[in-house]
Chains A and B, each alone.
Chain A
Amino acid sequence: MVHLNMNGHPSYQPKNAFMQWLERRLPIAGLVYSAFIVYPTPRNLNYWWTFGGILTFMLAVQIVTGVVLAMHYMPHVDHAFDSVEHIMRDVNYGWLLRYLHANGGSMFFLAAYIHMFRGMYYGSYKEPREVLWILGVILLLLMIVTGFMGYVLPWGQMSYWAATVITNLFSAIPLVGESVVTWLWGGYAVGNPTLNRFYALHYLLPFVIAAVVVLHVWALHVAGQNNPDGIEPQTEDDTVAFTPYATIKDAFLMMVFCILFAWFVFYVPNFLGHPDNYIPANPAVTPMHIVPEWYYLPFYAILRAIPNKLLGVVALVASIFVLTLLPWLDTSKVRSARYRPLYRQFFWVFVVVCIGLGWLGSKPPEGNYVLFARIFTIYYFAFFFVILPVLGKVEKTKLLPKSISQAVLREGMPIGTPAPPPAGMHRA
């Protein structure tokens, strides 16, 4: 007899005597079993749903490589740069560990952005997944802060001036701005106290990220996964077990992603970095063109698009925080862009605008670059504050399928399998 738990799927029944003993005392195997083995996932999930797993993997890569790098790194202005070169030249496999960590940061952000665009395309932030989405935005924010502090640690020219420019963002705060910046620095400029505390926090924050990931996954398991059709599973026909179906799909794309990761690490390890960061930090000279890492460029372009210090900083911060409002700004009841022909077009324009802002952020702040950065910034905010609220009211959406199984199955077989369809059967 199969025992069903509260959620209606089989509960964990260990046969092994030790596991029975443990389960009575700490039901951790049962938790894994119900959350990652029999957990029902919508049967229509596509490969865009594998990036959550990839992100978890990347977090683990960053923590493991980071902890071992910390065993060789010295957070002191006189030694930081040299200790990184020491890692590159002297430490056994140090070059590999550092390139994995540096490029791992880029891969982490790449996966996060794909994960977020997927959530936006398929309406994964909508009721009842608002908290799940907001936890994701918090994770992005933590990643941004952690990545920035990590970039300062090698203490090259870009490290030093990135630290100076980013901490100076706080000087835009009226009245207390300057005091806040001095407090962040622990001195009159970016210096040894700054490097020390950034190191301590760069070590701490990944574990905070891991904790928020637990909340994110918890919220996911409460609401269940969204899916490409954006309709809730209703019967058992609409779902498949997490293992093996989702597990193998996640694992397969993770390996494909690792190929990309490995290509960067082994063939173009410095492609995503900036050559100026191989020049030791010099507080007397600002590099001619300072640019942040590629994953901050869209936000940087928004900052520079606005010809007023305070408003520029406000826009930069707002461009991230607006994401937390997304579940309420999008007024459409239909989740998936598959059934929203107009939203789909505005979405792709939004993607192009984000990539365009990224490109503009890498260009010097002059002439047409600034003009286009302004146009794109306007679209970025209009997408959230004008297009999404209005679209939900005026868009004529397509007819939703009655169920997930109806959308993807025909006569109990997946659509696309060579079986002659009976006359009159149509995919809704």
Chain B
Amino acid sequence: MSSAEPTRRDFIYIATGAAAAVGTAGALWPIIAQMNPDASTIAMGAPIEVDLTPIAEGQVIKVFWRSKPIFINHRSKKQIEDAQNVDVAKLPDPQADSARVKPGHEQWQVLIAICTHLGCIPLADQGPYDGYFCPCHGSIYDTSGRIRQGPAPLNLALPPYEFLSDTKVRIG
């Protein structure tokens, strides 16, 4: 069935169809968007301040920011050297240690303690590189938190942070 002249019924079809499509999209949007973090969750994500004085050399502490565990690692001289004396080009996710710490604060390593594979918390001071080891699927990170072996694709992520003083850091 075809006619050269559009009929009034054709107009009704198109007008109704267009209204239904736009209406469905408009109705679906809130239903999908409600699943994203709500205002109270976002408000809880404000920056945190951490005092570094009690953290001894070689000690790793865990703090939480935006429900994410954050490692603050007071690295020893050897750990820093291990992290720096690496052929960066050969790493799965090439990144120099200097790009993963703040200049002048090489002993402090702040990173998100979430394995980039499937989200487990790695164990500190473990594995062949004396860095981090994820017990879930065997990913191994070095003392700079860079991925060296295992299924994880990326280095441990760094949170946004800055040093307020030599002994105080603000994460977030």
- Bound form: Cα–Cα A299–B29 in Å: 33
Min CB–CB distance A166 → chain B (angstroms): 8
Instruction: Give residues in B with beta carbon < 8 Å to A.
Output: 32, 35-38, 41, 45, 62, 64, 66-69, 116-121, 134-138, 150-153
Interface segment among A28-36, A205-213, A222-230, A307-315: the answer is A307-315
| A309:B117 contact, CB within 8 angstroms | yes
Residue contact B153 to A283, C-beta cutoff 8 Å: no
Asked if A188 and B37 make an inter-chain contact with CB atoms under 8 angstroms apart, the answer reads: yes
Give bound CA distance, A183 to B38, whole Å.
Answer: 10
Of A193, A284, A307, the residue contacting B64 (CB under 8 A) is: A284
Write out, one digit per residue, whether chain A residues 181-196 have a CB within 8 A of any chain B CB (1) or not (0): 0111111110101000
Known: A284-B62, A284-B69, A310-B153. A168 touches B35 (CB 8 A): no
**Complex Cα–Cα for A366 and B133 (A):** 13
Given known pairs A161-B120, A307-B151, the reply for A182 and B36 (CB within 8 Å) is: yes
Write the chain B residue with the least CB distance to A290: B136
Q: Are B120 and A286 in contact (CB under 8 A)?
A: yes
**Which residues of A332-382 are within 8 A (CB) of B?**
364-366
Given contacts A182-B37, A197-B35, 9 further A-B contacts (CB under 8 A): A165-B119, A168-B117, A182-B36, A187-B67, A191-B41, A284-B69, A290-B136, A304-B151, A309-B118
Asked if A171 is an interface residue, CB under 8 A from chain B, the answer is yes
B137 touching A304, Cβ below 8 Å: yes
- Chain A's closest residue to B154 (CB) is A309
Q: Is A69 an interface residue (CB 8 A)?
A: no
A396: interface (CB < 8 Å): no
- Residue A288 is within 8 A (CB to CB) of chain B in the complex: yes
**What residue of chain A has the Cβ atom nearest to residue B65's Cβ?**
A188
Q: Cβ of A285: which chain B residues have Cβ within 8 Å of it?
A: 121
Query: With a CB–CB cut-off of 8 A, which chain A residues contact B68?
Result: 188-189
Q: How far is the CA of A57 from the CA of B152 in the complex (A)?
A: 42
Q: Are A290 and B120 in contact (CB under 8 A)?
A: yes
B135 lies within 8 A of A286 (CB):
yes
A306 CB–B CB distance under 8 Å: yes
**Contact flag A193-B38 (CB < 8 Å), given A164-B120, A284-B64:** yes
Residues of A contacting B151 with CB < 8 Å?
A: 304, 306-309, 312
Q: Which residue of A lies closest to B135 (CB)?
A: A288
Chain B residues, CB < 8 A from A61: none
CA distance A365 to B118 in the complex (A): 14
Most A CB within 10 A of own CB, among B32, B45, B67, B134: B67
Minimal beta-carbon separation of B90 from chain A (angstroms): 17
**Shortest distance between the CB of B99 and any CB in chain A (Å):** 21
Interface of B is mostly: loop
A43-85 vs B, CB cutoff 8 Å, 1 = contact: the mask equals 0000000000000000000000000000000000000000000
Complex CA gap A259/B41 in Å reads: 48
Of B36, B37, B117, B136, the most chain A CB neighbours within 10 A belong to B136
Given contacts A186-B38, A187-B41, A365-B137, contact A308 B153 (CB under 8 A): yes
| A183 pairs with B35, CB closer than 8 A | yes
Contact partner of A169 among B118, B120, B121, B135, CB < 8 A? B118
For residue B1, give the distance in angstroms from its CB to the closest CB of chain A: 31
| Central interface residue in B121, B135, B151, B152, by most chain A CB within 10 Å | B151
Would you give the shortest CB distance from B73 to chain A, in whole angstroms? 16
Nearest CB of A to B158, in Å: 15
**Interface presence of A289 (CB below 8 A):** yes
A164-B118, A284-B62, A309-B152 as given contacts; A188 in contact with B35, CB under 8 Å: no
Complex contacts, B36 vs chain A, CB 8 Å: 182-183, 186
Q: Are A186 and B41 in contact (CB under 8 A)?
A: yes
Contact in complex: A193, B41 (CB < 8 Å): yes
A residues in contact with B119, CB < 8 Å: 164-165, 167-168, 171
A184 to B34, CA, bound (A): 11
Q: Which residue of A lies closest to B37 (CB)?
A: A187
Decide if B117 touches A191 in the complex (CB within 8 Å): no
Q: Which residues on the B side are within 8 Å of A197 (C-beta)?
A: 35
Q: For the complex, what is the distance from the CA of A308 to the CA of B118, rounded to whole Å?
A: 12
Which 7 pairs between the two chains have the least Cβ-Cβ distance? A189-B67, A168-B119, A188-B66, A168-B118, A286-B120, A165-B118, A286-B121
Give 17 CB contacts A-B under 8 Å.
A168-B118, A168-B119, A171-B118, A171-B119, A182-B37, A188-B37, A188-B45, A188-B66, A188-B68, A191-B67, A197-B35, A286-B120, A286-B134, A286-B136, A304-B137, A304-B151, A307-B151
Q: Tell me which of A165, A308, A309 contacts B120 (CB under 8 A).
A: A165
> Contact at B35–A186, with CB atoms within 8 Å?
yes
Interface string of A138-165 (1 = CB under 8 A from B): 0000000000000000000000010011
Please, which residues of chain A bring their CB within 8 A of the CB of B153? 308-310
Q: How far, in angstroms, from A50 to B130 measured CA to CA in the complex?
A: 56
Nearest A residue to B41 by beta-carbon distance? A187
Interchain CB contact under 8 A, A165 and B35: no
Residues of chain B contacted by A185 (CB below 8 angstroms)? 37
When the two chains form their complex, are residues B137 and A184 in contact, meaning their CB atoms are under 8 A apart?
A: no
Contact between B120 and A283, CB atoms less than 8 A apart: no
Inter-chain CA distance A84–B113, complex, in Å, is 30
A167 to B119, CA, bound (A): 9
